[in-house]
Structure formats: C-alpha cells, structure tokens
Amino acid sequence: MLSTIKNQINVMIVNDSPYMVEILSNLISSHDKIKVSMKARDGVDALRKLKDKQPDIILVDLEMPNMDGLTFIEKAMSQYVIPIIVVSNYSQSGAKLILDFLEFGAVDYIAIPQDSPELIHELQDVLIRKIEAVAGVNPMVLIPKAIARLRPSVQKRPDARGASTKVIVIGASTGAPNIVSSILSQFPADLHAGVLVIQHMSKDFTTSFAQRLDNESDLSVREAKDGDQIHDGVVLVAPGDYHMVVGPDKKIHLNQSIKRLGVRPSVNVTMISASEVFGANVVGVLLSGMGQDGAFGMKVIKKRHGRTVAQDEFTSVIFGMAKAACDLNAVDKLVPADKLSMTILEELETNVGE
C-alpha cells in the first residue's frame, strides 16, 4: 500500500482545526519518507477528495462539523480500503466513542494531550512509528467484520467460585481490540479457566473496553483491581498504565514499576508471573500488535510446559508481537483470527499440567 513514488507514505489529515492540521503536518513531515499529501476540514470534504485520489494512511479527528469522524469511517470503509488512525484530543468521556471508531474499522488511535501544548512534540515519535507500522497492512484485515451479537443471553456465573487451576493470558495491541472481543464472545460461560487480558491501551480507555467486552461475552469481564482472585469464567483486563502481576496467592497485584519494552501494562510481566504460579496450566496468546512485548513471556510459558497460540500474519493488522514470539520458537500454534478461540480451548484441554 506504500506509494510507488520513492516508496513514500502519503498521509491525509482530516481535522477541522487549522492549528492541529499544521501541528500534525509539521510533526509528520519531519520524516523524509512520510508526506502529508491531502488535507480535509471534515468528513464531507474528505470523502469528496477521496473520489479523485486515495492516500496510504488517513489521520482523522473525533469531533468535526458537517460529518464527524465515526460517520466518516463508516462511509469511507464502505468504499475504500485505507488504514485509518484516529488522532484526537480526548477525555475519559470519549473512551466509548474511541472504541466505536476501532470497531468500525480504524486500526488505532493516538491521543493528543489536552491543554498541554508543550507536550505536542512528544507525539512525533508515536505518530511516525504508527504510520510506518500500519502503512503496509494487509488490506483484507481492514474490512470490518461484524462481531457476533444478539446471541441468546445466558446468566453470567457469579465470581464467588474457587480459585482457577488454569489461566489463559491474552496479549494484544494495535489492531487487536476487535479480535479480543471475538475470542471472548466464543468462549463458553462455564469456561474452566480464568482469563487475563493485557491490551496496550491508555488508562482512560481500559474501563470502557472491559465494559464493552462484558456486554459482548457470556463471561464476566471487568477491569482488574489489586487483590482480585483469578476465577474460572472471569476475565480481568489490565488497567492502563499498570502492570498486572499474578502473585503466589493466585491474586492480581497491580504496580507502576518501570515500563517494559516501552509499555505499561506489559504482556511479558503478566505472562511470566502467571507461568511462575500456574506452571504448565497456562495458555499464552499473542495477537496483532507492533513491538516485541509478549515474545519473551510466551517463551517462558513454553519453557514451563504451558501452551502458546498466536494470530497469523495474514489476519493481523501488524504482525509484530506474534512474529517476535515466532522468531524465538515460542509459538505452538499460529492460526488465523477466526480460529483463535477454538484453538485456545483445544490447547486448554491439552494443557493438563504434565
């Protein structure tokens, strides 16, 4: 999907603020292989311009006049296959809306600090990294797929069950929120394992993310709290900006120790601690995402005779984390997104603590 002219990545900015357009343009244009080739003041203007020319990446704001970003994504994704990143000022109240953006086809989001102009330039590194990461994405994974909903609802089992003897640890990043939802929606309500989810997501979003997962799954899903017990059929989501550690008491312990590989929460931290406590009764899972977080964690799980599953390259928005695990020979099963839940359940049954 990269431009054929000097292998340049052409970017379109859709934002009604001339100030933000200028800021983003200056930050992006500092990279010699990224060019802001198109600008639009709102969704209507952007759709009109897309008829004549399509960029490699679109950066879109959340709130705009005439046509907001969510409506734009719906319409654009029905006509074109272009990676879209949401770049916006946001508050905690906008968290659910950001999740809507991701569900309708945006591949990622970048938060612009509120009321902190001095922090704007700190966006440069993350903007460039994410633009480069998604520029060459497989077009097929950008086509939104409806997540199963309106299934016959079953009563969620209460948390007051015995501590789990098995645990599934799912690590996820860019391009993975919908995959996490799809996996959990296919797990049975009487799942004989606890589930821990580490999604690279900021602290303002993980609460809403957990609530959405809870609505879309027969399992009980919530954001983890310090001291939570790991129960069968219960999914605990790592809160943003906290590492989620599994203690010897099989309880969750949260901390804000240094970032690992530049991220907090860290998939490695949770996977390694879970393997120390549960031994062979761990199934590690890595989904779409850039970087190497989770690769070493998968290696440790495998070393302790647990099982490991990863999302394949063809269905991943970014085949980074899973590839890093494959490079370490730490993946037992590499499967497409639609086979993940079934494979995880099969590995869970195989994993009997040998």
Q: Provide the H-helix boundaries in the chain.
A: 18-29, 43-50, 69-79, 95-103, 123-135, 177-185, 206-216, 267-278, 295-303, 321-327, 340-350
Active site residues: 173, 200, 293
At 246, give phi and psi (nearest 5°).
-90, 120
Task: With CA atoms as reference, report the closest residue to 294 among 304, 305, 309.
Answer: 309
Q: Hey, what are 311's tokens? A: 């999302």
Q: Hey, what are 193's tokens? A: 């394992």
CA atoms within 13 A on the CB side of 162: 4
Cβ atoms of residues 196 and 185 within 8 Å: no
Q: Hey, what are 16's tokens? A: 């009604």
Q: How far apart are CA 340 and CA 263, in angstroms?
A: 25
CA atoms within 13 A on the CB side of 345: 15
Q: Hey, what are 281's tokens? A: 């009764």
Cβ atoms of residues 111 and 240 within 8 Å: no
Task: Give the Cβ contact number of residue 5 at 10 Å.
Answer: 8
Cβ atoms of residues 291 and 325 within 8 Å: no
Q: How far apart are CA 100 and CA 257, in angstroms?
A: 31
